[in-house]
């Protein structure tokens, strides 16, 4: 993106006899400061690397081609962002990629990058990451890391010929505790991209955000609590207190997402917020002025041209209740939809359904729900009709109380009232029978109070809130309920989940993971492409009922995916799983001086090839003692001494490198 230089005229007083420009000293402290400009590290990495990948596609003439993003999970604990664009030459890796504030994109508004900082963003989270660049038939893998001096360093790890398309892939190791944060970051970073990335390693649902109204360059999401600017696919919150007074209300209440052309706005170096120069504020206010006029037209057209009465009422209700500040004749005058007056939507519904009852989450007070005699029209409202002789109200109240969605609301009508609303213009497809809601167990008194459960009703358990170790109990009617897609079985020791067997050669062992750690279960489901909302737990005695209804045992699903086969011959080539020693050697300043044929260089490079195999194991168990250390025989006694020295003493690396250099010179 083209940066608008801000020049300031300077007036000098007196005669200047001597002057000196300020400088920046290259030091570990300077790089630490540059790596800490991001407040949300996970989001910054995904956003910056994602923008760079999309820029590469634009530069190569492929703006509609999706990039590839690998979501970190328990079995594959790394984030990968890959493009298939221009690639980076070996010369530019060292000349441009590694130089802060050096960018090839500062002379074009076709691309997002501008400061030459985004490619270094992984250093805000990790001390080392991998860069794979394919350029003109050559595939090169580089290690980027903080060297012994504390300064970011890059080194060429391997180079091979390839027929693959040009492109760059950045791979970053991710901690188990941060996987959920990276999952959320991927959704946030790309949610408003025109071309969504291809996802592996997990499942990202992009279609969860649907606008209530939209124009050619803006969308309105009534669930959003603020206004956002989109430039180059990146989302920037707009400070509502910065906009002109006449635009304050729509910026605060309409949940707007507004697209800007590249270069129309200026952003902070972290790309987390806007810079509010006068020309930036002018651009924002101009867009808001256009949105405001367009918004009124879109809402009015939605009301008058809706295919059904309900959508027209929803739009009018929002216009009157939430956007009363707009200059619309419909706010004060009478409004009709196909000759039916709907000026007051709630009263219009009441005329057709006089006994309607609405249940929703209570925002304040001790009770978990509230009840009204008027319909709810917001985006979280649903319509049910009573098809049970008794028990519908209990089911609805229980459903609303236990629902995780704070925006949930249920409008309940009788079957005759439903028919009247359909006749008036409501779509028949929106009405759901109350029998589909989970039934509620009744209580009866005996010598002590206890709960009895109706025949044909069993207990299921949903994952509930992440911050609670317990699972949320819910009643499930086998006759009328909708069976979950997947279930886990409760055993005598609690809920357990068998991750599976890891095999290779003659080595076999398994790992059991307690899914009371909800983050583990979520990662496993993400790895298998299963939504956690589709998973329930059930007692062993009731599992057969779910089988009969078509639910799948999650354990059996994972049986087809879980077994991991390792290249044990590669694993056996490594004497120790202590990769810290390997990293110490690779990062040593003298390592780059070794010839490719040097025995130590060959040996360490061979270890690098084994790292991927080892990482599969390292992230599945804390202590893998199943590999026999004595199964490897060093081909060169000198190399064995060097490597053992590295394992034994802190100074061993220096000794090893000096010995290797001497060997190299001979």
- Phi/psi for 557 (5° steps) reads -65, -45
Residue 634, pLDDT > 50, answer no
* Predicted pLDDT at 69: 94
CA distance 181 to 531: 17
Assign 554 to helix, strand or coil. helix
CA distance 502 to 233: 41
The predicted-structure confidence for 407-462, as pLDDT tens digits, reads as follows 788 999 999 999 999 999 999 999 999 999 888 765 554 444 444 556 678 888 88
CA distance 265 to 124: 25
Most confident of 394-398, 586-590, 611-615: 394-398
Assign 398 to helix, strand or coil. helix
The predicted-structure confidence for 355-376, as pLDDT tens digits, reads as follows 999 998 865 544 577 888 899 9
Residue 500 burial by CB count (10 A; 0-12/13-18/19+): exposed, middle or buried? buried
* Predicted pLDDT at 101: 55
Does residue 439 or residue 510 have the better pLDDT? 439
For residues 559-569, give the mean pLDDT: 49
What band does 657 get if pLDDT is binned at 50, 70 and 90?
low
Does residue 258 or residue 601 have the better pLDDT? 258
% pLDDT > 90, the chain = 23
Residue ranges per structural domain of the chain? 28-207, 209-318, 344-434, 442-565, 568-665
Does residue 564 or residue 371 have the better pLDDT? 371
* Predicted pLDDT at 468: 60
Closest by Cα among 143, 141, 124, 123 to 133? 141
Asked which of 293-297, 408-412, 551-555, 587-591 is least confident by mean pLDDT, the reply is 587-591
Exposure string for 59-68, b = 16+ CB within 10 A, e = fewer: bbebeeebbb
* Predicted pLDDT at 425: 93
Retrieve residue 234's tokens.
Answer: 């990146």
Retrieve residue 194's tokens.
Answer: 């025109």
Does residue 597 or residue 342 have the better pLDDT? 342
Residue 608, pLDDT > 70, answer no
Q: What is the DSSP string of 34-65?
A: HTT--SSHHHHHHHHHHHHHHHHHHHTT-TTS
Does residue 455 or residue 506 have the better pLDDT? 455
Closest by Cα among 211, 425, 213, 209 to 301? 213
Across the chain, mean pLDDT equals 76
Asked which of 247-251, 351-355, 444-448 is least confident by mean pLDDT, the reply is 444-448
Strand partners of residue 504? 507
Retrieve residue 373's tokens.
Answer: 């005699």
Residue 82, pLDDT > 90, answer yes
Q: What is the largest CA-CA distance in the chain?
A: 101
* Predicted pLDDT at 30: 60
What band does 641 get if pLDDT is binned at 50, 70 and 90?
very low
Residue 531, pLDDT > 70, answer yes
**Residues with Cβ within 8 Å of residue 312, at least 6 apart in sequence:** 302, 303, 304, 306, 337, 342
The predicted-structure confidence for 217-227, as pLDDT tens digits, reads as follows 999 887 787 89
Q: Is 212:220 a contact under the CB 8 Å cutoff?
A: yes
Element housing 509 (H / E): strand 507-514
* Predicted pLDDT at 543: 87
Task: Give the CATH number of domain 28-207.
Answer: 3.30.565.10
What band does 628 get if pLDDT is binned at 50, 70 and 90?
very low
Residue 160, pLDDT > 50, answer yes
| CB atoms closer than 10 angstroms to residue 651 | 10
Assign 370 to helix, strand or coil. strand
The predicted-structure confidence for 84-100, as pLDDT tens digits, reads as follows 999 989 988 887 776 65
């Amino acid at each position: 993106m083209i940066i608008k230089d801000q020049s300031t005229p300077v007036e000098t007083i007196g005669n200047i006899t001597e002057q000196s420009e300020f400088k920046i000293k290259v030091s570990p402290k300077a790089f630490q400061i540059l790596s800490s400009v991001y407040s949300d590290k996970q989001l910054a990495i995904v956003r910056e690397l994602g923008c760079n990948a999309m820029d590469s596609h634009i530069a190569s003439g492929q703006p509609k081609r999706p990039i590839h993003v690998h979501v970190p999970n328990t079995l594959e604990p790394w984030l990968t962002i890959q493009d298939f664009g221009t690639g980076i030459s070996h010369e530019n890796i060292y000349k441009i990629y590694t130089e802060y504030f050096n960018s090839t994109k500062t002379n074009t508004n076709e691309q997002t990058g501008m400061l030459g900082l985004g490619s270094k963003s992984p250093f805000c989270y990790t001390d080392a990451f991998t860069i794979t660049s394919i350029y003109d038939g050559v595939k090169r893998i580089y290690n980027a890391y903080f060297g012994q001096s504390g300064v970011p360093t890059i080194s060429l790890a391997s180079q091979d010929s390839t027929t693959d398309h040009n492109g760059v892939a950045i791979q970053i190791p991710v901690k188990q505790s941060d996987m959920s944060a990276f999952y959320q970051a991927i959704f946030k970073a790309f949610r408003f991209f025109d071309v969504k990335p291809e996802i592996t390693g997990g499942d990202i649902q992009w279609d969860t955000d649907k606008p209530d109204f939209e124009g050619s360059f803006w969308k309105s999401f009534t669930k959003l609590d603020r206004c956002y600017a989109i430039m180059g696919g990146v989302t920037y919150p707009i400070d509502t207190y910065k906009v002109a007074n006449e635009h304050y209300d729509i910026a605060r209440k309409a949940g707007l997402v507004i697209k800007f052309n590249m270069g129309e706005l200026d952003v902070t170096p972290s790309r987390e917020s806007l810079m509010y120069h006068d020309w930036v504020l002018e651009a924002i206010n101009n867009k808001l002025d256009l949105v405001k006029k367009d918004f009124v037209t879109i809402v009015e057209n939605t009301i008058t041209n809706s295919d059904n009465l309900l959508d027209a009422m929803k739009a009018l209700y929002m216009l009157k209740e939430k956007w009363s500040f707009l200059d619309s004749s419909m706010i004060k005058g009478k409004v009709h939809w196909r000759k039916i007056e709907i000026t007051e939507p709630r009263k219009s519904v009441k005329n057709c359904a006089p006994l309607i009852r609405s249940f929703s989450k209570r925002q304040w007070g001790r009770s978990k729900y509230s009840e009204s005699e008027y319909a709810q029209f917001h985006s979280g409202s649903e319509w049910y009709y009573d098809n049970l002789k008794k028990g519908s109200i209990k089911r609805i109240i229980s459903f609303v109380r236990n629902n995780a969605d704070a925006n949930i609301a249920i409008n309940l009508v009788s079957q005759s009232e439903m028919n009247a609303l359909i006749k008036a213009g409501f779509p028949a497809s929106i009405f759901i029978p109350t029998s589909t809601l989970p039934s509620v167990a009744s209580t009866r008194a005996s010598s002590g109070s206890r709960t009895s459960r109706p025949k044909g009703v069993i207990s299921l358990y949903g994952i509930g809130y992440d911050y609670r170790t317990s699972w949320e109990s819910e009643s499930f009617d086998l006759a009328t309920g909708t069976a979950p897609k997947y279930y886990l079985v409760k055993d005598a020791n609690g809920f357990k989940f068998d991750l599976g067997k890891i095999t290779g050669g003659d080595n076999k062992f398994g790992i059991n993971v307690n899914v009371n750690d909800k983050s583990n279960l979520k990662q496993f489901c993400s790895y298998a492409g299963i939504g956690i909302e589709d998973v329930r737990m059930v007692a062993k005695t009731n599992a057969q009922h779910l089988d009969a209804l078509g639910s799948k045992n999650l354990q059996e699903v994972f049986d087809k995916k879980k077994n991991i086969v390792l290249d044990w011959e590669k694993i056996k080539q490594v004497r120790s799983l202590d990769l810290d020693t390997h990293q110490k050697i690779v990062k040593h300043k003298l390592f780059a001086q070794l010839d490719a044929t040097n025995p130590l260089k060959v040996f360490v490079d061979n270890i690098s090839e084994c790292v991927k195999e080892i990482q599969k194991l390292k992230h599945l168990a804390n202590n893998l003692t199943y590999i026999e250390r004595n199964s490897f025989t060093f081909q060169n006694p000198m190399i064995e001494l060097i490597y053992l020295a590295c394992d034994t003493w802190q100074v061993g690396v220096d000794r090893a490198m000096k010995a290797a250099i001497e060997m190299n010179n001979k």
